[in-house]
Structure 1
Amino acid sequence: MITESSSANFLAAAAYARTQAGAATSHDSDATFAGGGGSVQGFGAALENAVEDFVSSGKTAEKKAASGLRGQGNLTDIVTSVSEAQMVLQTASAVRDRVIQSYQEIMRMTI
């Protein structure tokens, strides 16, 4: 439990640091900042990269769970990957909810 929380906190802090490093160098929409696997341009590309990471995390959890059902694999690895996939899904749902809430708020604004 503590390891999962610490791992999630570390990943969140690293992502925040990468985002802030990119924001500090340039403020235009075409700003380039270092991502997890290379350079990412703009918000759309960063969002696409995050979605790809979400999908790969889910696939990894599925593979480990399937190996566990076959009686192979380490139980600790299986539980950890499933927990990470659950955390990723909760994060994606929270981000989606915030985007929808922001969109609705913008639509309520008067011009």
Structure 2
Amino acid sequence: MTDDDQRECVDLAAAALSNAVGSLMEQVVEGSGLKKQEIAQRMGITPARISQLLASDGNVRVASLARLVEAAGYEIAVVVTPKDPTRGPSIEVPRRRDRSRGAPTEPRVGTTA
């Protein structure tokens, strides 16, 4: 695979993740049962800003995503899985509730969500 091919694969992966995040944000807001105005108030932003976040392509700051998810009453679980299983196990970032129980705050290797 050429360097250009690899860059294209990376760019496509980034675009796919951005689209998935955009869809996820919409689902979180809808699934919360809360009005956008209430979520905005919990986040300390305007309802117009919520609309901007939801209208984006999903390429948002991680902090904005985390604040939206928390305000809507959800939590984020992050799992990174190698494309080639021979390269190693999946890595999971512990959920916040796990951390409050005294579990390690470092990523766990070889676990699934």
**Normalised-by-shorter TM-score class:** 0.3 to 0.5
Q: Given the two structures, how large is their TM-score scaled by the length of structure 2?
A: 0.32
Which gives a bigger RCO, structure 1 or 2 (Cα 8 Å, sep 6+)?
2
